[in-house]
Amino acid sequence: MDATVEKRVGTEEKATYNQLKKAAAGACKSCDDISADSVNRNEDEVTQKQIRKNKENRMRLCAKLGAQLCSLKNQYIKERCGKCFLSQDTYSVINCQKCIKLNKIQLFYDRMKELTIYEKYCVRFLISFSRLCVCYIKIIIPMFDV
């Protein structure tokens, strides 16, 4: 008797296993049959708008950070050359080679590395990007596909 019971349980387990295997194979086939047309277009458009909005906000934040770094760098410049003394443009003052040599600008970069974890080249990039955004406002406001 014991042998027949074991045989019957073994066949039931195999049958259950085969059913599960067929169900899993059928589910995978149905996943492969999903086409690009079945994607919800409204969700796609909403996602594209969110990406554009995040990109625009990221550009604005980089420009603001660059402007703040520019004003901080301007505060580190105590002594100015004759040309920069009369200049109202802070971007030209902080990029003047004479003013940079007269002042200890490396202290500024070291301090910014402590505060923001940005290296010297990143700080320079953000300041340059901020300058571009002041000169060309359309950098911040991206052109959207109509």
pLDDT along the chain (146 residues), means of 10: 50 65 55 48 73 78 89 88 86 88 88 88 91 82 50
Please give the structure tokens belonging to residue 20. 């599960």
Is residue 37 in a domain?
no
Residue carrying structure tokens 């594209």: 48
Please give the structure tokens belonging to residue 26. 């059928």
User: What pLDDT was estimated at residue 26?
Assistant: 58
Is residue 43 in a domain?
no
For residue 145, which of 72, 45, 64 has the smallest C-alpha distance? 45
How many domains does the chain fold into?
A: 1
Residue carrying structure tokens 């600008």: 105
User: What pLDDT was estimated at residue 116?
Assistant: 84
Q: Identify the domain containing residue 134 by its residue range.
A: 53-140
Is residue 118 in a domain?
yes
User: What pLDDT was estimated at residue 49?
Assistant: 79
Is residue 2 in a domain?
no
Is residue 135 in a domain?
yes
Is residue 83 in a domain?
yes
Distance CA 98, CA 81 (A): 7
Distance CA 131, CA 122 (A): 14
Is residue 17 in a domain?
no
Is residue 30 in a domain?
no
For residue 52, which of 136, 139, 140, 144 has the smallest C-alpha distance? 144
- The distance from CA 61 to its chain's CA centroid, rounded to whole angstroms, is 11
